[in-house]
Amino acid sequence: MKTALITGITGQDGSYLSEFLLNKGYDVHGIIRRSSTDYRERIAHLEGKPHFHLHYGDLSDSMGLIQVVSKVRPDEIYNLAAQSHVQVSFDSPEFTANVDATGVLRVLEAVRACGLADKCRIYQASTSELYGKVEEVPQNENTPFHPYSPYAVAKLYGYWIVKEYREAYNMYCCSGILFNHESERRGETFVTRKITLAAARIAQGKQDCLYLGNMSSLRDWGYAKDYVECMWLILQQDKAEDFVIATGEQHSVREFCGKAFKYTGITLRFDGEGENEVAICTAIDKSVNPKLCDELVGKTLVRVSPDFYRPTDVVNLWGDPTKAKAKLGWNPTKTSFEQLIRIMVEHDMKKVAADHAAEQVRTNLAEYLEKGIVK
């Protein structure tokens, strides 16, 4: 049985990767941060399984990392932990550098300190943000980097230090340069999930309007569940190498938004430009959703808020997965763009309905308690 250690196990990718590795028969260990609130929702269903173990630690704490690595003695480490929000990195640049740049170094050094440099393979969660202010479209493994946010600059250090340790110490460590990948487990402040949740809320009368930033931004969006397979494949090759992981398709935020609303039964028309752009509901389809309210027609459901603009924004990401297809035998469009949006919208329609039902139960209970109906 192989042993894997995952940093960032509570995140979107960490949760899917845990499921994937458990299915492959791995003993899976994960590093979690201590928190005063419950943030383990994505892995709650795995806790208690015999081959699933959690350890406290933090990428900013090298002593803790050394302790975990020496205890687990992993065959493979997947370093997914990061302050992963690009806009937040402008507000917390030092923290982002500490975790996303120096944190990678700490993981590599922990492996060396534990005498595992010859045995342990390391996957580094690198990113298409490295291409930033892009110098070539589409982007492949040879495209020059031009990082365009504190997050991307920190991740660039991570990329180079991994390459350095591979060459200097002959360690099996490599980076997956992953383009955006989304899912029903995506954090709620990333644009795709923000859109699918808002579309579901608006369709159910729980929200009036969605505010977005740059709707013209272009991304290469894949499905996170498909992408974790690549992380594993990258570590199973004879030679350690870096790979671009992407679908090879590009879409705008506006297009994602229009399609997400469509899956709730709402048709949008986008009008205007820049800060004055809006999306108006032109029709509703009750065959998709019989509960849609007729009054939505004619309403402005999406507006632009400059609050979501970034000091520098990456606007033209488009990956070329030729190498991954050829060497890893990976199918980049196993889940299509349309399927991805449908999965996310269907999930969020159910979530909003369930949240509403739970809220109703709480309201009823409060009322019954007040009236003395229940004691």
Q: Where are the alpha helices (DSSP H) in the chain?
A: 12-23, 62-72, 86-91, 93-97, 103-113, 150-169, 191-203, 224-235, 253-263, 322-323, 337-371
Positions in 94-153 near ligand NAP (CB under 6 A): 99, 125, 127
Positions in 124-153 near ligand GDD (CB under 6 A): 127-129
Q: Which two tokens stand for residue 261?
A: 């609303």
For residue 122, report the phi and psi dihedrals to the nearest 5 degrees: -125, 130
Q: In this complex, which beta carbon is closest to ligand GDD, that of residue 29 or of residue 194?
A: 194
* Smallest separation, CB 45 to ligand NAP (Å): 16
Distance, in Å, from the CA atom of 59 to the CA atom of 56, rounded to the nearest integer, reads 11
Distance, in Å, from the CA atom of 279 to the CA atom of 64, rounded to the nearest integer, reads 49
Catalytic residue check, 151? yes
Counting contacts by CB under 6 A, is residue 180 touching ligand GDD? yes
Q: In this complex, which beta carbon is closest to ligand NAP, that of residue 296 or of residue 317?
A: 317
Distance, in Å, from the CA atom of 176 to the CA atom of 244, rounded to the nearest integer, reads 6
Counting contacts by CB under 6 A, is residue 58 touching ligand NAP? yes
Residue 283 three-state SS: strand
* Smallest separation, CB 99 to ligand GDD (Å): 12
Q: From the list ligand GDD, ligand NAP, none, which binds 267 (C-beta under 5 to 8 Å, kind-based)? A: none
Q: In this complex, which beta carbon is closest to ligand GDD, that of residue 52 or of residue 221?
A: 221
Q: In this complex, which beta carbon is closest to ligand NAP, that of residue 145 or of residue 279?
A: 145
207: amino acid identity, one letter:
Q
- Beta strands (DSSP E) in the chain are 3-7, 27-32, 52-56, 76-79, 121-127, 173-178, 181-182, 210-212, 218-219, 222-223, 243-245, 251-252, 266-271, 278-284, 300-304
Catalytic residue check, 227? no
* Smallest separation, CB 298 to ligand NAP (Å): 35
Q: Give the residue among 273, 264, 115, 284 at the shortest CA–CA distance from 198.
A: 264
Counting contacts by CB under 6 A, is residue 264 touching ligand NAP? no
Q: Which two tokens stand for residue 244?
A: 């671009």
Q: From the list ligand NAP, ligand GDD, none, which binds 58 (C-beta under 5 to 8 Å, kind-based)? A: ligand NAP
How far lies 200's CA from each of 93, 292, 302, in Å?
Answer: 33, 11, 13
Distance, in Å, from the CA atom of 167 to the CA atom of 164, rounded to the nearest integer, reads 5
Which residue from 177, 191, 199, 257 is in contact with ligand GDD, where contact means CB under 6 A? Answer: 191
* Smallest separation, CB 229 to ligand GDD (Å): 18
Catalytic residue check, 192? no
Are 358 and 349 contacting, i.e. CB atoms less than 8 angstroms apart?
A: no
* Smallest separation, CB 221 to ligand NAP (Å): 8
| Contact region with ligand GDD (CB under 6 A), list: 206-214, 240-248, 326-334, 347-355 | 206-214
Positions in 17-56 near ligand GDD (CB under 6 A): none
Catalytic residue among 129, 182, 184, 229: 129
Q: In this complex, which beta carbon is closest to ligand NAP, that of residue 281 or of residue 318?
A: 318
Residues lying near ligand NAP in the complex (CB under 6 A) are found at 7-14, 31, 33, 39, 58-60, 80-84, 99, 125, 127, 178, 180-181, 187
Residues that are catalytic: 127, 129, 151
